[in-house]
Amino acid sequence: MASPSSSSHLNFAFVPKIEPKAEPLELDFPISPIGRMPNLTHGISELTSLSPATDGEEKLFTEYHRLISTLLPTSGATGSSDSTAVLAVPIPDSPAPILTAGMSVNKRRRRDRSSEMVRICSLREKDRIHFRNLIRRARITFESLRLLIKQVEAREKDFGIPRKSSRPDLKAAALMTNCDLWLNRHKRIIGSIPGICVGDIYFFRAELCVIGLHGHIQGGIDYVSASRSSTGEPIATSIVASGGYEDDEDGGDVLIYSGHGGREGNLRKMCVSQKLERGNLALERSMRYGIEIRVVRGMKIDRGPNGKVYVYDGLYKVVDCWMDGGKSGLGVYKYKLLRIEGQEEMGSSMFKQAATLQVSSLSARKGGYFCSDISMGRESLPVSLYNDLDDDKDPLHFQYLAHPLYPPDIQSQFHGDGRRGCECVTDCSSECYCAALNGGEFAYDAGGVLVRGKPLIYECGTACMCPPSCPNRESQKGIRRRLEVFRSNEIGWGVRSWDLVQAGTFVCEYSGIVLTKEQTELLSFAGENLVHPSRFPARWAEWGDVSDVFPNYMTPRYPLSPELSFSLDVSRARNLACYLSHSCSPNVFMQFVLYDHHNPSFPHLMIFAMENIPPLRELSIDYGVMDEWAQKLIAM
């Protein structure tokens, strides 16, 4: 097996990270009961018992049945695999509703939060992956629903239907509640939650609730209530430190947190002194019993849907508690929390570290930065190269291709393909020609976020009249975040971002020299390793999948994408994408896009985020073929 840097032809770096596939969980990992809590009797399988989407309240559903059925992909769009037929398919007038009016929704009461406290001490690797996948699935469902609801409401607005207050985050969470899709509600987990990593980032409080990291949509202190705790005392489990109280001081490993209460309504100012009750008492009791507290920090950011992110910073212990005069002169409870040692680096400090990288020049950075831009200006932003392990500067030895290079005869065909574009002067609307190509809707929302993956996306392109700022040109605008190719012991080469990457946004294109089917066969025969677009699993289908909530949801089948037979040769020329590492639970996925020509047999390979990816976390994609390869590696 060739190492990433010594192979003579295929030198790209998606080699060595091998993760076993998630398997059904065995139920014997150790869980320690807390205090006088009863021993766990049911086993951890309960943690995974998500019931199917059958229950719920009719009201929310019926409202969204109707609306969403006009938007969700349907099975109605059939057509031949002939590429010219794709262009001929008109906008469906009334898509077959995926949610029929009579769909039965059994009423069942939402499950109450449990009071049984458990601590999960250690997880085997395959359990870790299993839980990670559960969390991933819940987050994708939440975000997909949120984007979908946003899209529905934007369309309503276009039709002049007024809406009072739009809170797609709350609605998404409510739909998931109705289907009993909130995680970790039937056990109160003390300490780390399986599947949630230090550094994970969220944009909405509702999302924290959905995955069970923190139980309150507004409240800062989550605790097991006194009435439900076996000792009759409230026990705190997690806090969100958003800086909402004037007395909060945040020093990273040491956190001074203010208790709640003492305020009226939504006022930020204190009105009366706080009392040692509810969450305040819970934090004090957690200190007394040595219970660890999950800490989520709210941080302001420039990007993102609401200018704010929530970062999970790991476990802390309350070490001190006192009543303070407070800046307002009123009594405020203060808690000193110390971060437990031996955890992954704090997510919030990764933000700070990444921010320093943004402003410092190459020479001012500490060792390891070899090159400030391996693309030599060919990408829209510089792509830096980092290696503090050895002298390998492999990525510098290739010609940098920001966009794929098509064979001349193929390219000449593109010009004769009779393509036309839209004639929109300002913003493209759903009436636009390009919208029709996509089945009457655009793939992206107004903010340029991919609403759901599709077999193929037609962006507005060179033949269109609309301005370059058109939202339907998202992936052709080039990379929007500072990306870095870096060397690590575990993965050989990898790619990471200096900025946080919001789920559903474009990351980069996968580039190389395009080989036709015939050339591919010839070179494969010669033993050349090539990137085969057809081998990427259809991970795009996961992005936008709301079938857990709407069982009739169908994966988009339109626009049609023919079987892809071309390949990319990245042995001579490439871009940063070929340094993406492989994972079975990837955080980015491949989406095929057309914009500069209309030949669906040769789409662009565009990479989008399927999770919110914190700064400096490695990006990983599912190469598909790796399973076989990984097995060989394991066998060696």
Partner DNA sequence: GCTTGCTCAGGCTA
Partner DNA sequence: CTAGCCTGAGCAAG
Residues engaged in binding DNA (CB under 7 A): 110, 112-113, 164-171, 173-174, 177, 185, 203-206, 209, 215-221, 223-228, 234, 240-245, 248, 257-258, 260-263, 265-266, 278, 298, 305-306, 308
Separation of alpha carbons 72 and 75, rounded Å: 10
Question: Shortest Cβ distance from residue 424 to DNA (Å)?
Answer: 24
CB < 8 Å & 24+ apart, contacts of 248-251: 250/297
Residue 106 burial by Cβ neighbours in a 10 Å radius (0-12, 13-18, 19+): exposed
Provide the minimum distance between the beta carbon of 178 and DNA in the complex, in angstroms, as a whole number: 8
Q: Which is nearer to DNA, 37 or 221 (CB)?
A: 221
CA atoms of 471 and 428, how far apart (whole Å): 8
Torsion of CA 555, 556, 562, 566, to 10 degrees: -80
What is the nearest approach in angstroms of DNA to the Cβ of residue 271?
10
Q: How many residues does the chain have?
A: 636
Nearest-angstrom CA–CA distance, 177 and 53: 10
Specify the residue, 96 or 217, whose C-beta has the smaller distance to DNA: 217
From the CB of 57, what's the least distance to DNA, in Å?
Answer: 10
Cβ 120 to DNA shortest distance, Å: 19
Residue 19 near residue 583, CB atoms below 8 Å: yes
Of 142 and 386, nearer to DNA (C-beta) is 142
Q: Are 221 and 239 in contact (CB under 8 A)?
A: yes
Q: Which is nearer to DNA, 94 or 306 (CB)?
A: 306
Which residues have CB under 8 Å from 92's CB, separation 6+? Answer: 74, 76, 77, 439, 440
Closest approach of Cβ 239 to DNA, in Å? 7
Residue 384: strand, helix, or coil: strand
Interior angle at CA 322, CA 319 and CA 323, nearest 5: 160
**Nearer to DNA by C-beta: 153 or 392?**
153
- Name which of 14 and 245 has its Cβ closer to DNA: 245
Whole-number minimum distance, CB 262 to DNA, in Å?
7
Alpha-helix runs per DSSP H in 74-219: 83-88, 125-158, 168-178, 205-211
Q: With CA atoms as reference, report the closest residue to 384 among 404, 403, 363, 405.
A: 363
In terms of CB distance, is 248 or 627 closer to DNA? Answer: 248
* Angstrom distance (rounded) from CA 612 to CA 203: 9
- Residue located via tokens 């996961």: 542
**Quick one: 105 or 576, whose CB is closer to DNA?**
105
- Considering the complex, state which of residue 178 and residue 384 has its C-beta at the smaller distance from DNA: 178
The minimum distance between CB 35 and DNA, in angstroms, equals: 17
Instruction: With H, G, I as helix, E, B as strand and everything else as coil, classify residue 483.
Output: strand
CB of 203 to DNA, least distance (A): 7
